[in-house]
Structure 1
Amino acid sequence: MAVTDKPCKHFVLVHGAWSWFKVATRLRTGGYRVTAPDLAASGVDPRPLREVPTFRDYTGPLLALLGSLPPGEKVVLVGHSLGGVNVALATEMFPDKVAAAVFLCAFMPDHTSRPSNVLERFIEGNWLGNWLEYWMDTEIKPQDTEGKLPTSMLFGPKIIREKFVQLCSPEDVTLATSLMRVSSLFVEDLQLQQPYSEGRYGSVRKVYIVCKQDLAIAVGFQRWMIDNYPVEEVMEIDADHSVMLSRPDELVRCLVDIAESYA
Structure 2
Amino acid sequence: MEVMKKHFVLVHGAGHGGWCWYKLKPLLEAAGHKVTTFDLAASGIDLRKIEQLHTLHDYTLPLMELMESLPQEEKVILVGHSLGGMNLGLVMEKYPQKINVAVFLAAFMPDSVHISSYVLDQDLTLALSLMRPSSLFREDLSKAKYFTDEGYGSVKRVYIMCTEDKGIPEEFGRWQIDNIGVTEAKEIK
Q: Pick one of 167, 173, 179 that aligns with 1:216.
A: 167
CA distance in 2, matches of 1:123, 1:222: 17
Q: Which amino acid aligns with 1:201?
A: Y
CA contact (8 A) 2:25 2:35 kept: yes
Match of 1:118?
117
Taking the TM superposition and a 5 Å limit, the aligned residue runs for 1:227-242 are 227-238=178-189
Q: Report the equivalent of 1:253.
A: none
In structure 2, relative to structure 1, the CA distance for the partners of 1:31 and 1:6 (3 Å cut) is farther
Residue 104 of structure 2 corresponds to 103
- Provide the C-alpha distance between the structure 1 equivalents of 2:4 and 2:79, rounded to a whole number of angstroms: 18
Q: Show the counterpart of 1:82.
A: 83
Encode CA deviations 1:8-63: one digit per residue, 9 max, x unaligned. Answer: x1000001311101000110111100001210000010011111111101000000
Superposition TM-score, scaled by structure 1 size:
0.65
Aligned to 2:56: 55
- After TM superposition, list the pairs within 5 Å mapping 1:135-214 onto structure 2: 139-141=130-132, 152=133, 183-214=134-165
Q: Which residue does the alignment assign to 2:9?
A: 12
Unmatched 5+ stretches in structure 2 = none
* CA shift for structure 1 position 223: 0.2
Secondary structure at 1:71 match in 2: coil
Between the aligned partners of 1:72 and 1:93, the Cα distance in structure 2 is 15
1:74 and 1:234 map into 2 onto residues whose CA distance is: 21
Q: CA deviation at 1:192?
A: 2.5
Which structure has the bigger radius of gyration? 1
Alignment partner, residue 32 of structure 1 = 33
Partner of 2:67: 66
- Structure 1 consecutive aligned stretches of length 4 or more whose deviation exceeds 2 Å: 4-7, 138-141
TM-score (norm 2): 0.89
Aligned-pair distance for 1:193?
2.1
Separation in 1, partners of 2:33, 2:41: 25
- Greater strand proportion: 2
The structural deviation recorded for 1:139 is 3.6
Number of the residue aligned with 1:226: 177
The 2-side partners of 1:62 and 1:195 are apart by 16
Across the aligned residues of Structure 1 and Structure 2, the Cα RMSD in angstroms comes to 1.8
Q: Residue 23 of structure 1 corresponds to which residue in structure 2?
A: 24
Q: After superposing the two structures, state which structure 1 stretch, 55-64 or 183-192, moved more.
A: 183-192
Q: How many angstroms does 1:5 deviate by?
A: 5.8
Please list the CA deviations of residues 142-187 of structure 1 after superposition, one character each: whole Å capped at 9, or x if unmatched. xxxxxxxxxx1xxxxxxxxxxxxxxxxxxxxxxxxxxxxxx22111
